[in-house]
Amino acid sequence: MLDSTQEGYTTEDGRKIGGVVMEMRNITLRFGGVVAIKDISFDIREGEIRAIIGPNGAGKSSMLNVISGFYNPQEGEVIYRGSRRPPMKPFQVARQGIARTFQNIALFEGMTVLDNVMTGRLNHMRASLLDQAFWWGKAQREEVENRQKAEEIIDFLEIQHIRKTPVGRLPYGLKKRVELARALVSEPSILLLDEPMAGMNVEEKEDMSRFILDVNDEYGTTIVLIEHDMGVVMDLSDRVVVMDYGKKIGDGTPNEVRSNQEVIDAYLGVAHD
Partner 1 sequence: MAQTDTPKGVPHSIPALLARNVAQFGSKPAYREKELGIWQNWTWAEAAEEIDAIAYGLLALGVNRGDHVAVIGRNRPALYWSMVAAQKVGAVPVPLYQDAVAEEMAYVLEHCFARFVICGDQEQVDKVIEVQGRVPQIEHIIYQDPRGLRKYDHSKLHALADVQAEGRAAHDRFDKELKTREAELDFDSTCVMLYTSGTTGKPKGVVLSNRNIILTSKASSEFDHLDPHDEVLAYLPMAWVGDFIFSIGQAMWTGFCVNCPESADTTLADLREIGPTYYFAPPRVFETLLTSVMIRMEDAGPLKRRLFHYFLEHAKVVGPRLLDGKNVGAMDRLKYQLGNLLMIGPLKNALGLTRIRVGYTAGEAIGPEIFDFYRALGINLKQLYGQTEASVFITQQPDNEVRPDTVGVPSPGVEIRIDDKGEVYYRSPGVFVEYYKNPESTASTKDPDGWVATGDAGFIEPDTGHLRIIDRAKDVGKMADGSLFAPKYVENKLKFFPNILEAVVFGSGRDYCTAFINIDLTAVGNWAERNNIAYASYQELAGHPKVMDMIQSHVEEVNRSVATDEMLSGCQVHRFLVLHKELDADDGELTRTRKVRRRIIEEKFHDLIDALYSGKTSQYTETEVTYEDGRKGKIKATLEIRDAATVAAGAPAQVAAE
Closer by beta carbon to partner 1, 20 or else 185: 185
- Identify which of residues 64 and 154 has a Cβ nearer to partner 1 in the complex: 154
Query: Residue 40: left if φ>0, alpha if ψ -120 to 50, beta else—which one?
Result: beta
3-class DSSP state of 49? strand
User: Closest approach of Cβ 214 to partner 1, in Å?
Assistant: 6
Report CA-CA distances (Å) from 70 to 62, 126, 129.
9, 24, 28
- Map residues 112-151 to x or -, x wherever contact with partner 1 holds by CB under 8 A: -----------------------------------xx--x
Residue 217 or 265: the one with the smaller Cβ distance to partner 1 is 217
Site string for partner 1, 6-35 (x = CB under 8 A): ---------x--------------------
Length of the chain: 273
Nearest approach in angstroms of CB 163 to partner 1 is 7
Residue with Cβ nearer partner 1 (214 or 265): 214
Least distance from partner 1 to the Cβ atom of residue 160, Å: 5
Which are the contacts of 116, defined by CB distance < 8 A and separation ≥ 6? 107, 108, 167, 178, 181, 182
Distance CA 111, CA 128 (A): 23
Among 17, 24, 154, 190, binds partner 1 (CB under 8 A): 154
Residue by residue, DSSP assigns 165-178 as SBGGGS-HHHHHHH
Distance CA 3, CA 15 (A): 18
Q: Which residue number, 84 or 161, has a Cβ lying nearer to partner 1?
A: 161
Shortest separation between residue 196's beta carbon and partner 1, angstroms: 19
Interface stretch with partner 1, choices 76-84, 86-94, 161-169, 186-194 (CB under 8 A)? 161-169
Q: Which window, 99-107, 158-166, 232-240, 243-251, contacts partner 1 (CB under 8 A)?
A: 158-166
Q: Which residues of 63-92 are buried (b: 16+ CB within 10 A; e: fewer)?
A: bbbbbbbebebeebebebeeeebeebeeee
CA atoms within 13 A on the CB side of 188: 28
Question: Which residues, 57 to 96, sit near partner 1 by CB under 8 A?
Answer: none
Supply the minimum distance, in Å, between the C-beta of residue 210 and partner 1.
9
Angstrom distance (rounded) from CA 27 to CA 66: 9
Residue 97 DSSP symbol: T
In the complex, which residues of this chain contact partner 1 (CB under 8 A)?
A: 15, 147-148, 151-152, 154-156, 158, 160-161, 163-164, 214, 217-218
